[in-house]
Chain A
Amino acid sequence: MKNETRLLPGDFAIWIFIFAELLVFGIFFISYAVVRVQNIDMFNHYQLSLNRETGAINTILLITSSYFVVRAVRAIKLNQIKQCYHFIYAALICGGLFLVLKTYEFQDKFSAGISLDTNTFYMFYLSLTIFHYMHVILGMIILLAIAIKAQRGKYSSQDYIGVETGGAYWHMVDLVWIILFPLIYIIR
């Protein structure tokens, strides 16, 4: 029994979507590393202009929000409906703080006249982080819908596939940032 193969959590379709998203981000990451080989001095120079503090805080916020989502999934499996949506709201607060810090970071760059055309480093930095930012917004909309549905008693220990599906997507958003943060902000 112990070695029995488990089913993927959530709706199977979300895993196809997650894989497609990971492929796109993977190509972005590999392209960044390869293009950097020809522009090492430029990449190292402009990387110093990034705010590593907000980058690190944002990583902790996303990890913590993922932890809350795990707690929400576990709670609904135990039919603890109130705890389930409380944990999802906690995850949403972390996601909201992430967006606030990221918006501040973008505002800082845009007000300094930095855009996609500035240079190759900023092209990668802005494309990757804005693309990820949009995924955070989408993930938060999904989580909010799940929290509202849970609050209305639509999920239970018998029916929690929606919570698992939204959770899987949110973890993917976290996973991508786990690679993005050291790659763009730290490694030189």
Chain B
Amino acid sequence: MKKIYNIHTILILLILLTISTYMFGHFNSSGLLVVLFLIISAFIKGLLIMREFMELRGVSLLWRVIMYGWLTTVCSTIVIAYTIGGN
């Protein structure tokens, strides 16, 4: 497992998630499920960048709460706004 989960496979995963995001745009997809998928995809990408690229894995709890908290707050507020507003 450790051999598969490394910086190279993380890069591939990030690129694949970006391509899937682009494809939703290419087909002008909309709807709450699409919004959820796109935000969850952005959340996963952000999490991977913070954890693996910014090396937040294992740092003090306070900094992890601050950084992951920012990502969670932004993503969940966007989902709420799009749920209220509809598409």
Cβ proximity bits B28-45 to A, threshold 8 Å, 1 near / 0 not: 101000110011011001
Task: Please report the C-alpha to C-alpha distance between residue A155 and residue B70 in the assembled complex, in whole angstroms.
Answer: 32
Interface centre among A5, A69, A74 (most CB of B within 10 A): A5
Task: Please report the C-alpha to C-alpha distance between residue A182 and residue B79 in the assembled complex, in whole angstroms.
Answer: 12
Residues of the A chain whose Cβ atoms lie less than 8 Å from the Cβ of B42: 178-179, 181-183
Task: Please report the C-alpha to C-alpha distance between residue A171 and residue B39 in the assembled complex, in whole angstroms.
Answer: 19
Q: How large is the interface on B (under 10, 10 to 19, 20 to 34, 35 or more residues)?
A: 35 or more
Contact at B41–A188, with CB atoms within 8 Å?
no
Residues of the B chain whose Cβ atoms lie less than 8 Å from the Cβ of A33: 77-78, 81-82
- Pick from A56-64, A113-121, A138-146 the stretch touching chain B: A56-64
Task: Please report the C-alpha to C-alpha distance between residue A19 and residue B63 in the assembled complex, in whole angstroms.
Answer: 10
When the two chains form the complex, which single residue of B21, B53, B57, B85 contacts A37, counting CB atoms closer than 8 Å? B85
Task: Please report the C-alpha to C-alpha distance between residue A9 and residue B55 in the assembled complex, in whole angstroms.
Answer: 7
**Tally of contacts, chain A with chain B, CB under 8 A:** 132
A183 → chain B closest CB, angstroms: 6
B87 → chain A closest CB, angstroms: 6
Contact at B58–A6, with CB atoms within 8 Å?
yes
Residues of the A chain whose Cβ atoms lie less than 8 Å from the Cβ of B75: 179
Contact at B78–A183, with CB atoms within 8 Å?
yes
B50 → chain A closest CB, angstroms: 7
CB-contacts of B1-46 with A (<8 A) = 7, 10-11, 14-15, 18-19, 21-22, 24-26, 28, 30, 34-35, 38-39, 41-42, 45-46
Residues of the A chain whose Cβ atoms lie less than 8 Å from the Cβ of B18: 56, 59-60, 63, 181
Contact at A178–B46, with CB atoms within 8 Å?
yes
When the two chains form the complex, which single residue of A71, A174, A186 contacts B7, counting CB atoms closer than 8 Å? A71
The chain A residue with its CB closest to the CB of B49 is: A175
Residues of the A chain whose Cβ atoms lie less than 8 Å from the Cβ of B87: 40, 44, 188
The chain B residue with its CB closest to the CB of A12 is: B63
Query: Which 4 residue pairs are nearest across A and B when measured between Cβ atoms?
Result: A37-B85, A33-B81, A56-B22, A186-B25
**Chain B residues at the A interface, C-beta cutoff of 8 Å:** 7, 10-11, 14-15, 18-19, 21-22, 24-26, 28, 30, 34-35, 38-39, 41-42, 45-46, 49-50, 52-60, 63, 66-67, 70, 73-75, 77-78, 81-82, 84-87
